[in-house]
Amino acid sequence: MLTHAQVWSAIDRLAAQAGLSASGLARRAGLDPTTFNKSKRVTPAGRARWPSTESIAKALAATGTTMETFVALTHNGDSAPARGVPLIGFAEAGAGGYFDDGGFPAGTGWDEVAFPAVNDEHAYALEVSGQSMEPAYRNGDIIIVSPAAPVRRGDRVVVKTRSGEVMAKELKRQSAKSIELKSLNAAHPDRTLAAADVLWMARILWASQ
C-alpha cells in the first residue's frame, strides 16, 4: 500500500524530473500554485492531507508521465515489479459469486490487470463504467480497492449492501447503527444506510486515470 510520504515524494520527484518546483508543477498542471506545497501536506490539526487523484492526473498529463512511472517514483525512482490484481467491471460487482461475505475476492470470472506497488494480497480492481461517479472517476478508470485496509471518515470507499447494490462514495460518518455516505457526483444524492443493511465496505487505495 502506498504511504502518504511515498506519494508526496513521488510528486517532488516528478517535479524535479520536469525541471520544476512543486509550485511550478502545479502551475503547469493548471492548478493553484500552492496545491503541492509542503504546507498543504498536513492539516493545521496535524492530520495527513493527501493529494487528490484529479490533481495527480493533471500533473501527469502536464508532464507526459504515465501512472506506472509515477508509481515507480514512489519507490525512490526504482521500477516496482507489477503483479496481477483481480479485475471485474464495477457493474458486475453487484452480482453473486465474486466476493465472500467479508468483501474479499472469491470465485471465478475475474480478469487480471498488472499494477505495481500494491502490497495487499487481497486488493482487487474495479473498472468504472458510465458517468455516475464523475468527476472523481470517469468511464474506463480503474480503481484499486483494499478490503483489509482500515476505513476512516473522509476516505473514498466501495460499499455493497445486502440487496446487492454496489456504490462508490465518500465516508462521512459511521456509527454502530448507520453509515452516512457522500456522493462523488453532485447530481446524485448522498446516502444514509442502516449498518445492518451493509454487507461490506472497503477503502479505495488508488485510481488509475
Q: Give the dihedral of Cα atoms 106, 108, 110, 114; nearest 10 deg.
A: 80
Name the nearest CA neighbour of 184 among 146, 134, 145, 142: 134
Both 137 and 183 in one domain: the answer is yes
Both 106 and 129 in one domain: the answer is yes
Q: Which domain holds residue 21?
A: 4-73
Contact 162, 198 (CB under 8 A): yes
- What percent of the chain stands above pLDDT 90? 31
Please tell me the predicted confidence (pLDDT) of residue 168: 93
Cα–Cα dist 197/178, whole Å:
9
Q: Is the pLDDT of residue 67 over 90?
A: no
Q: Taking the CA atoms of 149, 153, 155 and 158 in sequence, report the sign of the dihedral they define.
A: positive
In the three-class reduction of DSSP (H, G, I as helix; E, B as strand; rest coil), residue 38 is classed as helix
Q: Is the pLDDT of residue 96 over 70?
A: yes
Mean pLDDT (whole number) for 26-39:
90
Mean pLDDT (whole number) for 134-159:
88
Mean pLDDT (whole number) for 33-60:
89
77: number of Cβ within 10 Å: 13
Both 57 and 128 in one domain: the answer is no
Q: Is the pLDDT of residue 100 over 90?
A: no
Q: Is the pLDDT of residue 209 over 60?
A: no
The total domain count for the chain is 2
